[in-house]
């Protein structure tokens, strides 16, 4: 495992950030904040998908008034996103938000910044200094000859200096850019400069799958270096997708306890006895809303599947129109091919309740192993060790080239 960088801790509502606390997942609502019911519906969906902290825009008086009604009914802490108008930050605090995000690129008057920080200090409300590569203070852009990691870090440091003047230190920082290497460099630089907790993100990553790839590359690289205390995927998609992606990344890196199924599946090949993509997708849908913290494998053939996925809690491999179920690599049952997904769900629910040992104990493993061996041997007899006929093709290629 990797060592996490030591940072100070702040709390957003009741959620700790930094100082060794579990890394949190954030997202942002896309509704008008004045639409109280619509925004709350989205917040509930986000919380169910694993979002720990949510941000809502506070861009007008109606939004601040909406926040006053949303905050007491929200299951997770609310952060108000503030651009340009420092008065909206004051109004959001009046509404009871648990945190603020200020963009130093567009609230630039020192007296405005200090007025917000003083009020936040008195109310014990943390502020994220949210530097964004796309809206950097033009003077820093000029000084650094364009957008650089140093320019973004300097922007954050300038804001911290104003906060210090009014004795405010409940801070976290982000230095987001849409360019992944630039964002990684800026966060590394920041991590060397301060022990303030960091909020990671690749801004304007775009729609999935490219957006997911960019965000995962940037956020994942930093997390593996121990950098980062809270994360947000900025996708051009339903924000629930952002929360799911954030949660999945943290679970994949072992940084948060697994809450959902980790579905692994073989990429399929000439040996596949089923349409692996179809079965894996159907299994994914069947497990989507079942909070089962298990690793489950869908494998295309019984020749190699059970061995390749022997670490999975539960798996199924196809062979001769049958599905061979295995638990921790031990064959436990055989079902008709058409019932593979249903069988996975049934066994997963049993394992979740009673554990893998109990699942193996209840099974007729000798029979299941015998049946699996029968199908495996038959497939090997029919298709041979070279199921893709690669050896035959190579002979043909050699003939073609030498003719
Ligand atoms: S050998 Fe079997 S388990 Fe491995 S990729 Fe091919 S079909 Fe899937």
Residue in 204, 187, 289, 185 with CA at minimum distance from that of residue 242: 204
Contacts of 144 (CB under 8 A, 6+ apart): 150, 151, 154
CA distance linking residue 51 with residue 49, whole number of Å: 6
Ligand 1 atom 5: residue of nearest CA: 268
Region of 128 on the Ramachandran plot (φ > 0 left; ψ -120 to 50 alpha; else beta): beta
Residue pLDDT, tens place only, 257-276: 988 899 999 998 888 889 99
- Residues recorded for the chain: 403
CA distance linking residue 350 with residue 293, whole number of Å: 12
277 CA from centroid of ligand 1 (Å): 12
Q: What is the predicted pLDDT for the residue at 201? A: 97
274 CA from centroid of ligand 1 (Å): 10
Q: What is the predicted pLDDT for the residue at 396? A: 85
Residue in 42, 38, 69 with CA at minimum distance from that of residue 54: 42
- Ligand 1: atom nearest CA of 271 is 7
Q: Which residues line ligand 1 (CB under 6 A)?
A: 266-269, 271-272, 299-301, 303-305, 308
CA distance linking residue 94 with residue 116, whole number of Å: 12
Ligand 1 atom 3: residue of nearest CA: 305
Average pLDDT over residues 75-104: 97
- Residue 19: other Cβ atoms inside 10 A: 14
Residue pLDDT, tens place only, 213-261: 999 999 999 999 999 999 999 999 999 999 999 999 999 999 999 888 9
Residue in 188, 186, 257 with CA at minimum distance from that of residue 24: 257
75 CA from centroid of ligand 1 (Å): 44
- Ligand 1: atom nearest CA of 269 is 6
SS3 174: strand
Q: What is the predicted pLDDT for the residue at 385? A: 65
Mean pLDDT value across the chain: 94
Average pLDDT over residues 16-38: 97
357 CA from centroid of ligand 1 (Å): 26
Q: Is the peptide bond before 209 cis (omega within 30 degrees of 0)?
A: yes
361 CA from centroid of ligand 1 (Å): 28
Q: What is the predicted pLDDT for the residue at 386? A: 66
Pocket test for ligand 1, best of 264, 265, 266 (most atoms within 8 A of CB): 266
Residue in 203, 221, 53, 24 with CA at minimum distance from that of residue 131: 203
Beta bridge partners of 318: 323
Q: What is the predicted pLDDT for the residue at 344? A: 97
* H helix or E strand, kind and range, residue 346: helix 340-354
Average pLDDT over residues 36-49: 96
State what percent of residues in the chain have pLDDT above 90.
Answer: 87
∠ CA(183), CA(186), CA(190), 5° rounding? 140
Pocket test for ligand 1, best of 265, 268, 390 (most atoms within 8 A of CB): 268
Burial of 366 (0-12, 13-18, 19+ CB in 10 A): exposed
- Ligand 1: atom nearest CA of 272 is 7
Q: What is the predicted pLDDT for the residue at 387? A: 64
Contacts of 149 (CB under 8 A, 6+ apart): 175, 182, 185, 186, 188, 189
Among 79-88, 351-360, 379-388, the least confident range:
379-388
Please say whether the dihedral angle defined by the alpha carbons of residues 42, 43, 47 and 50, taken in this order, is positive or negative. Answer: positive
- Residue 209: other Cβ atoms inside 10 A: 10
Give residue 388's pLDDT band: very low, low, confident or very high (50, 70, 90).
low
302 CA from centroid of ligand 1 (Å): 8
Residue pLDDT, tens place only, 299-349: 999 998 999 999 999 999 999 899 999 999 999 999 999 999 999 999 999
Pocket test for ligand 1, best of 270, 272, 385 (most atoms within 8 A of CB): 272
327 CA from centroid of ligand 1 (Å): 18
- Reply yes or no on whether the pLDDT at 67 is more than 80: yes
196 CA from centroid of ligand 1 (Å): 47
């Amino acid at each position: 495992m990797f060592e996490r960088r030591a940072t100070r801790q702040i709390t957003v509502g009741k959620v700790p950030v930094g100082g060794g606390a579990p890394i949190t997942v954030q997202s942002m609502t896309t509704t008008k904040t004045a639409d109280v019911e619509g925004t709350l519906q989205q917040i509930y969906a986000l919380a169910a998908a694993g979002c720990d902290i949510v941000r809502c825009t506070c861009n007008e008086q109606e939004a601040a008034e909406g926040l006053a009604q949303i905050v007491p009914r929200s299951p997770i802490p609310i952060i108000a996103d503030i651009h340009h108008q420092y008065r909206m930050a004051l109004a959001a605090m009046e509404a009871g938000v648990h945190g603020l995000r200020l963009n130093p690129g567009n609230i630039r008057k020192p007296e405005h910044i200090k007025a917000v920080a003083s009020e936040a200090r008195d109310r014990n409300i943390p502020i994220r200094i949210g530097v964004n590569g796309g809206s950097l203070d033009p003077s820093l852009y000029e000084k650094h000859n364009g957008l650089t990691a140093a320019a973004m870090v300097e922007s954050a440091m300038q804001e911290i200096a104003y906060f210090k003047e009014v004795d405010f230190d409940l801070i976290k920082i982000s230095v987001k850019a849409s360019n992944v290497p630039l964002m990684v460099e800026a966060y590394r630089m920041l991590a060397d400069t301060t022990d303030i907790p960091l909020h990671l993100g690749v801004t304007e990553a775009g729609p999935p799958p490219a957006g997911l790839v960019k965000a995962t590359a940037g956020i994942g690289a930093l997390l593996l270096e121990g950098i980062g205390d809270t994360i947000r995927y900025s996708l051009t998609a339903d924000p629930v997708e952002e929360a799911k992606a954030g949660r999945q990344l943290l679970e994949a890196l072992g940084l948060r306890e697994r809450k959902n199924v980790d579905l692994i599946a073989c990429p399929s090949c000439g040996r596949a006895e089923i349409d692996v993509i179809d079965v894996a997708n159907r299994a994914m849908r069947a497990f989507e809303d079942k909070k089962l913290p298990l690793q489950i494998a869908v494998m295309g053939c019984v020749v190699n599947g059970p061995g390749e996925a022997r670490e999975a809690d539960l798996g199924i491999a196809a062979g001769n129109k049958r599905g061979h179920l295995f638990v921790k690599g031990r064959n436990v049952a055989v079902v008709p091919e058409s019932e593979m997904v249903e069988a996975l769900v049934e066994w997963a629910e049993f394992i979740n309740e009673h554990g893998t040992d109990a699942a193996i104990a209840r099974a007729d493993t000798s029979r299941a192993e015998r049946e699996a061996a029968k199908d495996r041997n038959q497939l090997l007899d029919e298709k041979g060790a070279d199921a893709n006929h690669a050896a035959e093709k190579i002979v043909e290629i050699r003939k073609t080239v030498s003719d």
